[in-house]
Amino acid sequence: MRAGVAGGVLGTLAVAGASASSANAAEPVTQTLELPTLTADLAAQVAQSADATQQAAANYQLQAERDTASANAAKQAKSDLAEAKKKAAAAKKKAEAAARKAAAERASRDTQRMTLTAYSTGGGSDDSGSGSGTGSDAGTGTSGDTVTGGSSATGSAAAIVSFVKSQIGKAYVSGATGPSAYDCSGLVQTAFKQVGISLPRVSQDQSTAGTQVGLSNLQPGDILYWGGAGSAYHVAVYVGDGMFVGAQNPSSGVVEKPLSYDPPTGAVRVL
C-alpha cells in the first residue's frame, strides 16, 4: 500500500513538473535597448566640427602656397642680385679700363707738349706737333661748341681751306714746307702763299701775325694756335664747321680734326 501511494505521489509530481516545464518553455523572453537620440544641438556640433576641419585644411593649403611663393621669390631675388653684381663688376671694369686709357693719353699728350714747348723756346725752326696727335680727347675746353663764325669760306679763305684739305694724309717732317711733307707752321705758311700772303716761318711768330680773334667768332682761314700768343708751340688752320686742319706730329701727319680734339688757346685773323 505504501508503495502504491508513493508511486502515485511521484507520478503526480512528475506530471506537475512536466506541466511547469511546458509552461516555462512556451513563455518568450523580451529585452529592451535604449538608443541615443540625435538632437538638433548634437547635429549643429557635428556640422561645426566639419566646418572647422575644412577651414583648417584650407588654411594649411594657403600657408603651403605662401611658403612656396616665398621660396620662389627668394630664389629669384638671389638670382637677380647675382646678375646685378655681375653687371656692376663688368661696368666697373670697363670704366677703370677707360680711365686708364684716358690717363695714358693725357700723360702722352703732356709729355709731347713739354717736349715741343722746350723745342720751341730753344730756337728750333718749328715745334709743329700738337700733343693730342696720339689720340682723341674731348679736353677741358669747349671752344668747338662756341664757334659762331661762318662755315662757308669765300675768296682767299676758300683757297686756303681748299689747299690745306688737299694736303690731308701727307707726312709730318720737322722743318718741311711741302709739297710731300710739312710741319705745322710749314703747312700754314705754304697755305697762305697760295693767296700771295707771306707769313713768318715759325709758330711763335705766326700766332701774332694777324688780329687776335675770339674762339667764339672763328671764320674759315683763321690761324689757330696752341700756347701763348708769341710763344705758341703749334698752329693750324680753321676750316669751318668746328674743324681744323694741321700737321699734327710724326705719327699723325696732316689731319682734319674737330676743335674738341685739342681745344686751341687762341686765334689770329690775317685775311
- Model confidence over 39-98: pLDDT tens digits? 677 777 777 888 888 888 888 888 888 888 888 888 898 889 888 888 988 888 888 888
- Number of separate domains in the chain: 1
- Decide if pLDDT at 131 tops 60: no
- Of 152, 212, 164, the residue nearest 189 (C-alpha): 164
Band of pLDDT at residue 138, cut at 50, 70 and 90? very low
pLDDT cut 70: percent of the chain above it: 67
Domain annotation covers residue 47: no
Asked whether the predicted pLDDT for residue 159 surpasses 50, the reply is yes
Mean pLDDT of 13-21: 49
Q: Domain for residue 230, yes or no?
A: yes
107 confidence band (pLDDT: 50, 70, 90): low
Reported as a pLDDT band with limits 50, 70 and 90, residue 135 is very low
Query: Quick one: CA dihedral 210, 173, 251, 119, positive or negative?
Result: negative
Q: Per-residue pLDDT for 156 more than 70?
A: yes
Domain that holds residue 160: 131-269
Distances in Å between the alpha carbon of 85 and those of 37, 67, 79, 99, 219?
72, 27, 10, 21, 51
CATH number, position 171: 3.90.1720.10
Distance CA 108, CA 102 (A): 10
Q: Please name which of 105, 78, 222, 216 lies closest in space to residue 160, comparing C-alpha atoms.
A: 222
Give the residues across from 256 on adjacent strands. Answer: 245
Q: What cell was used for 137?
A: 680727347
Is 172 a domain residue?
Answer: yes
Output the pLDDT for position 141: 36
* DSSP string covering 168-179: TTPEE-TT-BSS
Give the residue among 256, 258, 271 at the shortest CA–CA distance from 160.
271
Question: Strand 223-226 and strand 181-182: pairing?
Answer: unpaired
- Asked if residue 163 is part of any domain, the answer here is yes
6 CB burial (10 A radius; 0-12, 13-18, 19+): exposed
* pLDDT for 124: 41
pLDDT at 99: 79
Within-domain flag for 262? yes
What pLDDT, on a 0 to 100 scale, did the predictor assign at position 145? 43
Report d(CA 220, CA 218) in Å as an integer: 7
Which among 258, 192, 267, 197 is positioned nearest to 234, based on CA atoms?
267
